[in-house]
Structure 1
Amino acid sequence: MRARPRTWGILGLALMALAACDLPSGPSKSARPAARPTALPAGSDPGPSANSQALATYYARVETDLLSRGLLRRDGGGPDTPYTDTDILRNFERIAFYDEYQPGAGYRPSSGRAGGLRKWVGPVRINVEFGASVSEDQRAADRRVVADYTARLARVTRHPISTGTGTPNFHVLFMGEDDRAQALARIRQLAPEAGPSTLAIFRDMPRSIHCLVAASPGQGEDHTYPRAIALIRAEHPPLMRQSCVHEELAQGLGLADDFPGARPSIFNDDDEFALLTSHDEELLWLLYHPDLKPGMTPDEARPILRRLLDARAGGPV
């Protein structure tokens, strides 16, 4: 019997609730950057293109609007966002067993059917790469964000997740609009088996897609991940870039869907929270508990989840 070819699927797309922002459909004329000169001195840096500058202006306005409405919270949840074990069970099932998008079909919505539990079984080794357009200062800041968050994910999941060790298998690409060709070339190197639909995901990102992560199951496997690629737009202001890091790395670990009922959570398209919350840490802790096996169905996992949450009050499980 032939081994099944590996199919790349989108695990997560960060979509801002732009309909509620009441922002114009594009940059205003006053914000439109002036055209660059047609000739530049040899060896000089032309700087970001007009398209990249316009995108940066647009995302800065999106962030300002969201913050003005009390969204993109960084407090992780508090007294105003209580949740129970019943909420955790419901939200875990909806986020861990479903997909936003149909694997291998670009931006086509999923069928809405539950699948098997997905997770990494081997170490996750994260590597950060940058497009040529990304400044050294921004690179240093983004490396710190990824390193700090990786340490948090390792602590929460109790799974080996690290940066700068061994051969990387989770690639985080910070690329700008001017780095499209570089990004596609790198993705082809990292995933030579990726088909046209997968490459189109990265090539044709509309500006409503702020960042994304795609992962491939192992050879002959449907439910374990040996490799993932996240793409984060370099034009984002700092908080939105950090928010993308938090959401895409967590979704790349196996929490693939968003659910409107999840609160406080980044796995929710309402943009209330920018960063991983206490609720989300519980989902990751459950996902990487050794009693939950890749491929489990919701019916198989449900009694285990209940037992783990019931026992949690007595100490580590």
Structure 2
Amino acid sequence: MRGRALSWRKGGLALALAALVAGCVGPPFSPLGSGAPSTSPPPPDAPLNDGAPRSESSQAMSDYLARIEATLVGQGLLRQDVAPRDAPFNSRQLAENFIRIALYDEYSARNGNFVAEQSASRLRRWTRPVRMSVEFGTSVPPAQRKADRAAISAYAGQLARASGHPVRLGYGRGNFTVLIVNEDERRAIGPRLRQIVPGIDEASVRAIAGLAPSTFCVAFAFSEGNSPEYSNVVAVIRGEHPDLLRTSCIHEELAQGMGLANDSPRARPSIFNDDEEFALLTRHDEMLLQMLYDPRLKPGMTEAEARPIVHMIAAELMGGDS
């Protein structure tokens, strides 16, 4: 049996055709529309083709997400500045943000489903090198695949530099799989998930295959038994996203797959906040990663055990500023 951590990226605005309420979680696994699923994603080294035809439901999702991105940007959200002067923070705030994001869970398993419920957890992270792989659905066009793979490769390097932990994108099988798929491919993804994570529970498979329209992307982290050390992560990102939303999902879910599994409304400037203000990993977030992989913190630590060390590290990073 595998342990599991879960993070969701939810929408945070209202549109004429669909309401997305900031901070609220609707039924998490209701499927979008209807219709028979098509094929599963190809293995990572499958040759590129011109892309299979996209279904009407996938095109509708693309249009829907384009409107979301345009509305968010129009509201001054999805900012791309990573060290904004209008969002200062001190060492105490950095430490408390770390505690809430790294030592609490956003979701709990209940009756075979996941429900939004904050609960205390333990510090979890990778101890083995992270080897990312990326797979695309057959209807994701080659130009998008090339751009997304380049973005993930560059971001893996950023995560490695920030955390001090080995992270790289390669070819072939890895232990951190990024699936970029459109609607029909995601609905039929169960068999591929069972190959990637042998023994994956059915609740996780249902959650991914039946992703609600209001969920932008999702990541599942797995460990062996009750171990606090990650052994496998699967991140699923909608291929229909326009460029900025897709990049934002890549930044958030891959960083959360490093062990920063929760969100906090107090974290600013941060992607670990459901308000959608920032699209890219900020300097604040890089500090959170540096703290997470500081050798003074150990996998399995509780909040009580980690808290004094976290405040010490935060003060060092901020030059003693409190």
> 1:183 aligns to what?
189
- In 2, the alpha carbon distance for the partners of 1:113 and 1:139 equals 37
Q: Distance in 1 between matches of 2:51 and 2:262?
A: 41
Greater mean deviation of Cα atoms: 97-106 or 184-193: 97-106
Query: How far does residue 303 in structure 1 lie from its aligned partner after superposition?
Result: 1.5
TM normalised by structure 2 equals: 0.85
Is residue 253 from structure 1 mapped to residue 258 from structure 2 by the alignment?
yes
Q: Tell me, which stretches of 5 or more residues in structure 1 are unaligned?
A: 27-43
Question: Is the CA contact (8 Å cut-off) linking 2:153 and 2:169 kept in structure 1?
Answer: yes
Kindly state the Cα deviation for residue 94 of structure 1 after the two structures are TM-superposed.
0.5
Which residue does 1:24 correspond to in 2? 17
Alignment partners' CA distance in 2, 1:296 and 1:183: 34
Q: Secondary structure, in 3 states, of the residue corresponding to 1:109?
A: strand
Correspondence 1:59-70 to 2 at 5 A: 59-70=65-76
Letter in 2 for 1:303: P
Q: What CA deviation, in whole Å up to 9, does each residue of 1:260-313 have, x standing for no partner?
A: 011000010100001111111111110011111001111111111222233336
Partner of 2:116: 109
Aligned 1:131-150 pairs, distance under 5 A? 131-150=137-156
The structure carrying a bigger strand percent of its residues is: 2
Whichever residue aligns with residue 185 of structure 1, its letter is: P
Q: 2:57 aligns with which of 51, 55, 58?
A: 51
Question: Normalising by structure 1, what TM-score?
Answer: 0.86
Give me the whole-angstrom Cα distance separating, in 1, the residues matched to 2:143 and 2:188.
Answer: 20
Q: Does 1:216 align with 2:222?
A: yes
SS in 2 for 1:113: strand
How far is 1:77 from its partner?
3.4
Which residue in 2 is equivalent to 1:304?
Answer: 309
C-alpha contact 1:99 1:256 (8 A) present in aligned 2: yes
Q: What fraction of aligned residue pairs are identical, expressed as a percent?
A: 44
Secondary structure in 2 aligned to 1:265? coil
Distance in 1 separating the partners of 2:168 and 2:51: 35
Counterpart position of 1:204: 210
CA distance in 2, matches of 1:86, 1:195: 38
Q: Which residue of 2 aligns with 1:6?
A: 2
What amino acid does structure 2 have at the position aligned with 1:247? Answer: E
The whole-number CA distance in structure 2 between the counterparts of 1:209 and 1:159 is 29
* Native 8 Å contact 2:180 2:237 kept in 1: yes
One-letter amino acid matched to 2:16: L
Q: Deviations over 1:12-64 (max 9, x none)?
A: 1111202xx343229xxxxxxxxxxxxxxxxx987211101000000000000
The equivalent of 1:272 in structure 2 is 277
- List per-residue Cα deviations over 1:169-228 (Å, max 9, x = no partner): 00000000121355222111112311221111111101101100001112x333110100
| Cα distance change, pair 134–304 in 1 and its aligned pair in 2 (3 A) | same
Partner of 2:298: 293
Quote the Cα distance in structure 2 between the aligned partners of 1:166 and 1:54.
Answer: 32
User: Are residue 283 (structure 1) and residue 276 (structure 2) matched?
Assistant: no
Match of 1:97 among 97, 103, 112: 103
CA distance in 2, matches of 1:187, 1:196: 10
Question: Aligned partner of 1:233: which letter?
Answer: R
CA radius of gyration, larger in:
1
RMSD: 2.0
Give the structure 2 partner of residue 238 of structure 1: 243
Structure 1 residue 87: Cα displacement: 0.6
Paired position in structure 2 for 1:33:
none
What's 1:15 paired with? 10
Shift in CA distance, 225/45, structure 1 to aligned 2, threshold 3 Å? closer
| 2:78 aligned residue | 72
Offset from partner CA, 1:62-112 (integer Å, 9 cap, x none): 0000000100000013111101101101100111111111157533123x3
Instruction: Name structure 2 gaps, 5 residues minimum.
Output: 20-49
